[in-house]
Amino acid sequence: MDILCILSSLLILYLIFKIWKHIDSKRDQNCYILDYQCHKPSDDRMLSTQISGEIIRRNKHLRLNEFKFLLKAIVSSGIGEQTYAPCIYFEGREESPTIQDALSEMEEFYIDTIEKLLKRNKLKPKDIDVLVVNVSMLNSTPSLSARIINHYKMREDVKVFNLTAMGCSASVISVDIVKNIFKTYKNKLALVVTSESLSPNWYSGNNRSMILANCLFRSGGCAVLLTNKRCLSPRAMFKLKCLVRTHHGAREDSFNACVQKEDELGRVGIHLDKTLPKAATRAFVDNLKVITPKILPVTVLFRFMLSLLLKKLRRSPSKGSTSNVAQAAPKAGINFKTGIDHFCIHTGGKAVIDAIGYSLDLTEYDLEPARMTLHRFGNTSASSLWYVLGYMEAKKRLKRGDRVFMISFGAGFKCNSCVWEVVRDLSVGECLGNVWNHCIDQYPPKSLLNPFLEKYGWIREEEDADTFKFRT
């Protein structure tokens, strides 16, 4: 009998040990953001509307209608007068870039951000265990990740991932890669480097669906330090709660919504199709269907399902016309603020921000970080999310326990999103290294109206009903 009791006790202790070990191992799989550093190019690379107009005029293939179309896109885009562009734009060489131009643009960015990030956190390059680099429009040999390893003399066993052609949603994809690595390997430090190469990607033709990209994208980038080390968790800024990736590449219209290709005369550019708004909306809705149950309280979800059922029983679907915004982004019909405190939206354009704001029923306060980022830094592709996050931090909005919802879109067509929890109070103290520190007191400005709107007032005349309302 005693032996039986002893065996039973040992079995119970073993089960308790296994349960504890399983729970304890989960703690080593957490993904934390230790710190991040956004890039601020030098002031001599500021791109005003006037300079943009002068650069556009250099394209000898543009007719008056295309010139009007581009100026209209610029002055109504929500982009301000202090964004940045590559050096070759100011040197008049945008139509004849070299490989060295592209590499120099990237070197300036990653040397600035990585060195500041490592120095601030008292780390050495050899401390990095995982390196993930995403730059969509540059595929050099050796790769950018190899160039970073060479420049900083990182360890030979560093795990390296070099992503290209992922579009504006590449930051969340990079975080997903790190998250999955952390599930397998304990006590690791990861460095995510995200930017976009503009120098070799100027379109010199006059195809309307391809010239828009020339006006909408700006220089920028960010380096992010992540870890799953328990000893570093007290220093962490954010903890990843969930991440969802939606890919509609199997759909032909979604796949062709944003494509790099040649025009009729063989000039390479990014084609933004008229199906882009529909593709983005569809991907956004499908992404929300998956992530919503992960981030909202059960009671809210239950009330939403009940109200949806009652609506279907009481009335038939309404008929008639709806507004353009509603067509582009239907309302979710659920209060996301019950589970989310801040919304970090990709700055793909004014219409992107408006559509997401309408869909999620957000206030101007919620949309302010994205609008101000678009105004100050423009659409910096995959790195734009981190500038939006930086604005929230600089404005002392982020308090311990708050949840931040990141939403991004990319070619393919993709919609990727994730939720971060603020693990220490970021609303107090100095925001060391924040890219907004030099100008945060000036935001939000009294008006976001483009100062050249009066000068270029003639371009506001309607000329084409088919305008792009959802850009990535």
Q: Which residues participate in catalysis according to the annotation?
A: 168, 247, 342, 346, 375, 379
Q: Tell me if residue 398 falls in helix, strand or coil.
A: coil
CA atoms of 35 and 93, how far apart (whole Å): 36
Compute the half-sphere exposure of residue 161: CA atoms within 13 Å on the CB side of its CA: 21
Question: Sign of dihedral through CA atoms 89, 91, 96, 97?
Answer: negative
Q: Tell me if residue 217 falls in helix, strand or coil.
A: strand
Contact 255, 277 (CB under 8 A): no
Q: How many CB atoms lie within 10 A of CB 254?
A: 23
Structure tokens at 226: 């992540």
Facing residues of 246 across strands?
A: 415
Cα distances from 82 to residues 303, 398, 459, in angstroms, run 46, 26, 22
In the DSSP assignment, the letter for residue 317 is P
User: Angle CA(69)–CA(260)–CA(64) in degrees, nearest 5?
Assistant: 20
Q: Which segments of 79-164 are extended strands (E)?
A: 83-84, 130-135, 159-163
Which residue bears the tokens 């995959």?
382
CA atoms of 227 and 114, how far apart (whole Å): 16
Cα distances from 61 to residues 57, 216, 229, 265, in angstroms, run 9, 19, 55, 11
Select from 195, 197, 186, 196 the least CA-distant residue to 130: 186
Structure tokens at 276: 């882009």
- What string of DSSP letters covers 354-378? HHHHHHHT--HHHHHHHHHHHHHH-
Through-space distance between the first and last CA atoms of the chain, rounded to whole angstroms = 72
CA atoms of 175 and 260, how far apart (whole Å): 25
Q: Tell me if residue 423 falls in helix, strand or coil.
A: coil
Q: Tell me if residue 400 falls in helix, strand or coil.
A: coil
CA atoms of 184 and 8, how far apart (whole Å): 33
Largest Cα–Cα distance of the chain, in whole Å?
A: 98
Which residue bears the tokens 């005693």?
2
